[in-house]
Chains A and B, each alone.
Chain A
Amino acid sequence: MKLSFILGRLLSAIPTLLILTFLVFIALHLVPGDVVDIMLGTQNFLSEEQVQQLYSRLGLDKPLMVQYGLWLKNFFTFNLGTSLRTGEPVAKMIVEKFPVTFELALFSIVFSMLLGVPLGIFSAVKRNSKPDYVIRVLGLVGLSAPAFWIGAIFIVLVSGAFVNFTLFGFVPLFKNPGVNLQVMLFPSITLGMMVAAQIMRMSRNSMLDVLSQEYVRVARAKGLPAKKVILKHALRNALVPVVTTAGIQLGYLMGGTIVIENMFALPGMGRLLLQAVNQRDYPVVQGVVAFIGVLIVLLNILVDILYSLIDPRIELG
């Protein structure tokens, strides 16, 4: 039964992946002018014949669906073309930058769980008390404050108060863990703040739901101490939707990394994407956007599968 669920979930992603890649592919064709015009820009030194050669080399003289098929085949064999600026393969650039983004996203999600889950549970258990109100208002503030503003405040405060703290200057984790963790600390907190607020709200709601369920009331009526009821009976069930929320937030995190990486000068995919956008380096933009889209579809499937493993009630359909 489990296996068929996993298979079904994988199969259902195929149309999504096809449409997604098609959207990214076709978007470049919707641009005023065509790809070759854009590639050449204003500095067009090529002869008419060379331009024609460029068209056929890029496969632009073939029918649209054939072009898409070729692009898709290249995409899934991780052949994403080369940068118009540096001539480097886009796939190589992504492979280089991805670990930075991955580390940032991972730290952020860990931070947001560590902060959001306990606060949410505490808030639910102490419902309508003063601490509950404070936590709820803080949650709303966390949802509302733009990440770049929180980041700016951190930069001003930290560089003013802790002169010796390394805020900028990324070094890979395995090269110098101490510096890496220092450099990644505030970007991760900044990025995780909004997710922490989401997770806090979700944990609170879900805990309130669970606490009002029959079995929790029965456990209490049996005379079990409140702490034991909360930790043993309620918490596990309350965490199921929280895991899903965390999964859904992966998308936000991937988007948020653009802002954070540029703010804290981290050499990840987000920075790569923004540079490519500013330089009109279309193969890089297209490659990174398609890569992120596909990655998120796959991550969502993974979250669904994990979810089905945690919660035995979930079955296919």
Chain B
Amino acid sequence: MKGETRKLVKKFFHNPLNAISLCVLGLFVIVALFPGLVAPYDPLKMDGEYFMSSPVGAHWFGTDQFGRDILSRIVFGVQNSMMIAVLAVLLAAALGTFLGVIAGYFGKIVDGVIMRVVDAMFAFPALILALFIIALFGASVPNLVVAIGIVYTPIFARTMRGSTISVKQNLYVVSAKALGKSHLGVIFREILPNISSILIVTFTTNFSTALLSEASLGFLGLGVPPPTPTLGGLVGEGSRFLLAAPWIALFPGGIIALIVLSINIIGDGLRDTLDPRTGK
């Protein structure tokens, strides 16, 4: 098993793009964990000498309409946006895996009921469903986590159901059942370990889209209320001054693109590494 893991790691790092992306993402994770160490200023502090200043030595990414340092606001924005997206996808993964495994394992009516609800939720565009939930319950960090989490649950439920059904037919699962193991035992011992690699890939790809959803909500003014910075919120605020001070919106937008890009490359790399069909 250990040699196997080492082979997979080697395969993943064989592509230099994967290694670079992992470094970039790692950098942003550090920024998200310790924003105070990275940010040159307090994200809320207004610098009276610089209002809507273009990038200069004292403010690398310029300042906004209140003279706040854009770079510092981006750094804390990375923390807030990443935290919301991670928690939301964790919630979606937990809820979706639970529903999907139950549906796939028990089949019949349980499957029918769960999957019809999942289908119905799937019909809503992610952004519209999230916006609907936020519209009803208001914008706050927990509400955003729940809203985005609910939106991404159907994706996990579908994927995990499919994987459960295919794993269920394997001989070791059939024999475990025949030996009289309890349903819970079979699910935890036989099914879950065998669908975990697909779970990891699904988590990665949806983490990037969840970040985009959070950013879009923020851009529309339905994210965490100001003055707390989030990446999408920064672009939304800045887009009002797009022609006079394009840096306010363009820098945070570029950071979102960079984070999402690195996650997408890692996601592709993980899929190629873990999917035996593409292995050579």
Contact = CB atoms under 8 A, between A and B. Distances in A.
Nearest to B247: A156
Contacts of A293: 120, 123-124, 128
Interface string A151-179: 01101100100000000000000000000
A37 to B, nearest CB: 13
From B123, B222, B232, residue with most partner A Cβ within 10 Å:
B123
A5 interface: no
A274 interface: yes
* A-B residue pairs, 3 tightest by C-beta: A255-B125, A149-B253, A255-B127
A278 B121 contact: no
B194 to A, nearest CB: 25
B37 interface: no
**Interface of B: prevailing SS:** helix
Contacts of B243: 155-156, 159
B131 A258 contact: yes
Interface in A243-261: 251-256, 258-259
A23 interface: yes
A144 B125 contact: no
A180 interface: no
Nearest to A263: B239
B142 to A, nearest CB: 14
Interface residues of B, number: 48
A145 interface: yes
A159 B232 CA distance: 23
Given A16-B120, A300-B123, A254 B239 contact: no
A20 to B, nearest CB: 4
Nearest to B221: A278
Contact of B242 (A15, A31, A146, A152): A152
Given A258-B128, A289-B128, A153 B120 contact: no
Contacts of B125: 251-256, 292, 296
A246 to B, nearest CB: 15
Nearest to A299: B123
A68 interface: no
B260 A144 contact: yes
Contacts of B280: none
B235 A255 contact: no
A14 B132 CA distance: 23
A30 interface: yes
Contacts of B121: 20, 23
A27 B129 CA distance: 11
A259 B245 CA distance: 21
Interface stretch (B6-14, B83-91, B180-188, B261-269): B261-269
22 contacts: A15-B116, A19-B117, A20-B121, A23-B120, A28-B136, A146-B212, A146-B216, A146-B235, A152-B249, A152-B250, A153-B250, A155-B243, A251-B124, A252-B126, A256-B125, A258-B127, A258-B128, A259-B220, A274-B131, A277-B222, A278-B221, A292-B124
B220 A149 contact: no
Nearest to A253: B125
B135 interface: yes
B219 interface: yes
A148 B239 contact: yes
A54 to B, nearest CB: 20
Interface in B105-126: 116-117, 119-121, 123-126
B120 A152 contact: no
Contact of B123 (A16, A31, A155): A16
A140 interface: yes
Nearest to A149: B253
B125 to A, nearest CB: 3
B40 interface: no
Interface string A1-38: 00000000000000111011001100110111000000
Q: How large is the interface on A (under 10, 10 to 19, 20 to 34, 35 or more residues)?
A: 35 or more
B151 to A, nearest CB: 10
B208 interface: yes
A143 interface: yes
Interface in A281-299: 285, 289, 292-294, 296-297
Contacts of A274: 131, 220
A314 interface: no
B213 to A, nearest CB: 9
B10 to A, nearest CB: 20
B257 A289 contact: no
A273 B221 CA distance: 13
Interface string B158-182: 0000000000000000000000000
A292 B128 contact: yes
Contact of B137 (A23, A31, A152): A31
Interface string B258-278: 101101110010000000000
B128 A148 contact: no
A275 B116 CA distance: 31
Given A16-B116, A31-B136, A152-B239, A145 B127 contact: no
A141 interface: yes
Nearest to B215: A146
B71 interface: no
A10 to B, nearest CB: 14
Contacts of A152: 235, 238-239, 242, 246, 249-250, 253
